[in-house]
Amino acid sequence: EIVLTQSPGTLSLSPGERATLSCRASQSVSSSYLAWYQQKPGQAPRLLIYGASSRATGIPDRFSGSGSGTDFTLTISRLEPEDFAVYYCQQYGSPWTFGQGTKVEIK
Protein backbone atom coordinates (compact mmCIF):
# COMPACT_ATOMS: atom_id res chain seq x y z
CA GLU A 1 0.00 0.00 0.00
CA ILE A 2 1.28 3.46 -0.92
CA VAL A 3 1.30 5.81 2.09
CA LEU A 4 0.90 9.51 1.36
CA THR A 5 2.33 12.03 3.81
CA GLN A 6 1.19 15.64 3.52
CA SER A 7 3.02 18.63 4.92
CA PRO A 8 2.61 20.91 6.65
CA GLY A 9 -0.33 19.81 8.78
CA THR A 10 -1.55 23.39 9.01
CA LEU A 11 -0.63 26.39 6.89
CA SER A 12 -1.48 29.85 8.28
CA LEU A 13 -1.58 32.46 5.53
CA SER A 14 -3.30 35.70 4.60
CA PRO A 15 -5.55 36.29 1.58
CA GLY A 16 -3.43 37.14 -1.44
CA GLU A 17 -0.49 35.03 -0.31
CA ARG A 18 0.87 31.97 -2.10
CA ALA A 19 0.22 28.53 -0.62
CA THR A 20 2.47 25.54 -1.29
CA LEU A 21 1.28 22.14 -0.10
CA SER A 22 3.40 19.00 -0.27
CA CYS A 23 2.45 15.34 -0.71
CA ARG A 24 5.13 12.66 -0.48
CA ALA A 25 4.48 9.02 -1.39
CA SER A 26 6.15 6.01 0.23
CA GLN A 27 6.79 4.59 -3.25
CA SER A 28 6.53 5.87 -6.77
CA VAL A 29 3.02 6.75 -7.94
CA SER A 30 2.59 5.19 -11.36
CA SER A 31 1.67 7.32 -14.34
CA SER A 32 1.20 10.33 -12.06
CA TYR A 33 -2.06 8.89 -10.74
CA LEU A 34 -2.18 11.63 -8.13
CA ALA A 35 -5.15 13.89 -7.35
CA TRP A 36 -5.86 16.80 -5.02
CA TYR A 37 -9.19 17.54 -3.34
CA GLN A 38 -10.51 20.50 -1.38
CA GLN A 39 -12.94 20.03 1.50
CA LYS A 40 -14.75 22.78 3.36
CA PRO A 41 -16.58 22.21 6.68
CA GLY A 42 -19.86 20.34 6.22
CA GLN A 43 -19.20 19.72 2.52
CA ALA A 44 -18.12 16.79 0.42
CA PRO A 45 -14.63 16.86 -1.08
CA ARG A 46 -14.23 18.56 -4.46
CA LEU A 47 -11.77 17.42 -7.10
CA LEU A 48 -9.19 20.10 -7.95
CA ILE A 49 -6.33 18.34 -9.76
CA TYR A 50 -5.95 14.92 -11.38
CA GLY A 51 -3.05 13.29 -13.18
CA ALA A 52 -0.79 15.35 -10.89
CA SER A 53 -1.21 18.54 -12.93
CA SER A 54 -4.53 18.66 -14.80
CA ARG A 55 -7.18 20.99 -13.41
CA ALA A 56 -10.66 19.56 -13.03
CA THR A 57 -13.61 21.23 -14.74
CA GLY A 58 -14.39 24.66 -13.35
CA ILE A 59 -11.30 24.93 -11.15
CA PRO A 60 -9.67 28.41 -11.26
CA ASP A 61 -6.19 28.67 -12.71
CA ARG A 62 -4.75 29.93 -9.42
CA PHE A 63 -4.70 26.21 -8.48
CA SER A 64 -1.85 24.22 -10.00
CA GLY A 65 -0.35 20.81 -9.41
CA SER A 66 3.11 19.50 -10.14
CA GLY A 67 5.44 16.64 -9.39
CA SER A 68 6.07 13.02 -10.28
CA GLY A 69 7.38 9.84 -8.74
CA THR A 70 7.15 10.33 -4.99
CA ASP A 71 6.96 14.13 -4.60
CA PHE A 72 3.95 16.21 -5.52
CA THR A 73 2.92 19.81 -4.88
CA LEU A 74 -0.32 21.77 -4.92
CA THR A 75 0.17 25.51 -5.33
CA ILE A 76 -2.47 28.19 -4.85
CA SER A 77 -0.93 31.26 -6.43
CA ARG A 78 -2.97 33.90 -4.57
CA LEU A 79 -5.31 32.81 -1.81
CA GLU A 80 -8.91 33.93 -2.07
CA PRO A 81 -11.18 33.91 1.03
CA GLU A 82 -12.99 30.82 -0.28
CA ASP A 83 -9.74 28.83 -0.52
CA PHE A 84 -9.34 28.41 3.23
CA ALA A 85 -10.14 24.73 3.65
CA VAL A 86 -8.57 21.29 4.08
CA TYR A 87 -6.71 19.78 1.13
CA TYR A 88 -6.11 16.09 0.53
CA CYS A 89 -3.87 14.33 -1.93
CA GLN A 90 -4.86 10.90 -3.23
CA GLN A 91 -3.20 8.25 -5.31
CA TYR A 92 -5.53 6.11 -7.42
CA GLY A 93 -4.36 2.57 -7.69
CA SER A 94 -5.14 -0.54 -5.75
CA PRO A 95 -5.64 0.20 -2.98
CA TRP A 96 -6.56 3.81 -3.32
CA THR A 97 -5.14 5.97 -0.51
CA PHE A 98 -5.44 9.55 0.77
CA GLY A 99 -2.99 11.73 2.60
CA GLN A 100 -3.94 12.93 6.08
CA GLY A 101 -4.74 16.45 4.86
CA THR A 102 -3.34 19.97 5.12
CA LYS A 103 -5.49 22.68 6.65
CA VAL A 104 -5.06 26.12 5.12
CA GLU A 105 -6.23 28.64 7.69
CA ILE A 106 -6.47 32.41 7.81
CA LYS A 107 -3.55 34.02 9.58
CA distances from 50 to 13, 25, 92, 101 (A): 25, 16, 10, 16
Residue 41, number of CB atoms within 10 A of its CB: 6
Q: With binding defined as CB under 8 A, does residue 67 bind another protein?
A: no
* Nearest to another protein of 20, 31 (CB atom): 31
- Secondary structure letter of residue 88 according to DSSP: E
- Span of 15-23, 49-57, 63-71, 74-82 interacting with another protein by CB under 8 A: 49-57
Using CB under 8 A, pick the residue from 50, 63, 72, 84 that binds another protein.
50
Q: With binding defined as CB under 8 A, does residue 65 bind another protein?
A: no
Closest CA to 34 of 80, 77, 78, 66: 66
- Span of 10-18, 63-71, 76-84, 89-97 interacting with another protein by CB under 8 A: 89-97
Q: With binding defined as CB under 8 A, does residue 72 bind another protein?
A: no
Q: Which residues are bridge partners to 35 per DSSP? A: 90
| Beta-carbon-side half-sphere exposure of residue 84 (alpha carbons within 13 Å) | 12
The site string for another protein over 22-41 (x = CB under 8 A, - otherwise) reads: -----------x-x-x-x--
